[in-house]
Amino acid sequence: MSQALVVGHSADASLHRLAPWFAEYGLDTRIMFGADGLPQSLDGYDALIVLGGAPLPDDDEHYPWLPATRKLIGEALERQIPMLGICLGGQLLAYTAGGHVERSKFQPEHGMTGIEATRTAATDSLFRVMPREYIMAENHIDHITMLPDNAVLLARSRRTPVQAFRIGPCAWGLQFHPEISQADIERWSALQRTNTEADGFSWSHIVEYGRRVSRGNTADARRLACRFAAICTHQDEENDR
């Protein structure tokens, strides 16, 4: 099987539902918590996946593994190794390539959220399997406020101008969380729920709406995950299940 290095920013980092979907297409994953140390290079890996977390991309003082993470991202870009950055991972990709990320610049997003693809997404090797509109999980107050000059915008939402983008032929950044299901959201801690309500969201609405859209969300997240795995394992066929 091909193998992806997965960088996590908390000790309980997880790919959740993505891991079994990746495995269907022959992509195995190895999760490493940044604080435990990261490899010096991507030698031996077929892909890089960087998960979400609390810091801004340059908060090296409190998260001292961020420079090593950015180095691996730079290597993936240089060597054209497929990469998927999720939430903070996407912000790290944008920042490493010359973009800007800011805290509380725009309104926050929590729970299942409508995403709109750009026209360019229809010809992107990953996002062409996605519908024009879809729903994904969100949980962020930080935003990419400026993409690098060489980035291609692939999706946006009502509150967030950058929901997905690509740099080079095979490095994708996401603000949304395809790994998170509605069941995962409903397992959020009491503190997370309190924070969402402090940001102006109704927890009961997050639960009710999320349950209504869960089936479509699962289908679209699976479609995206399987297509990424197919790219990493050099399988030519598209997955549109």
pLDDT digits (tens, 9 = 90+) for 75-133: 999 999 999 999 999 999 999 999 999 999 999 999 999 999 999 999 999 999 999 99
Look up the pTM and report it: 0.96
- Catalytic residue, chosen from 9, 16, 87, 226, is 87
Is 62 known to be catalytic? Answer: no
- pLDDT at residue 237 greater than cutoff 70: no
- pLDDT at residue 180 greater than cutoff 80: yes
- Catalytic residue, chosen from 9, 177, 226, 232, is 177
Nearest to 147 by CA among 189, 175, 108: 175
- pLDDT at residue 238 greater than cutoff 60: no
> Which residues are CB-contacts of 111 (< 8 A; sequence separation ≥ 6)?
137, 138, 139, 185, 196, 201, 205, 206, 209, 210
**Span 181-220, pLDDT tens digits:** 999 999 999 999 999 999 999 999 999 999 999 999 999 9
- Helix, strand or coil, per DSSP, at residue 138: strand
Is 234 known to be catalytic? Answer: no
Q: Over range 8-24, report the average pLDDT.
A: 96
| C-alpha distances in Å from residue 110, one per residue of 25, 107, 121, 140 | 30, 10, 24, 7
Is 170 known to be catalytic? Answer: no
pLDDT tier at 1 (50, 70, 90 boundaries)? confident
Dist CA 56 CA 59 (whole Å): 5
- pLDDT at residue 17 greater than cutoff 90: yes
- Kindly calculate the radius of gyration of the chain based on its CA atoms and give it in whole angstroms: 16
Mean pLDDT of the chain: 96
Quote the Cα angle for 218-231-239, to 5°. 45
- Catalytic residue, chosen from 75, 109, 138, 179, is 179
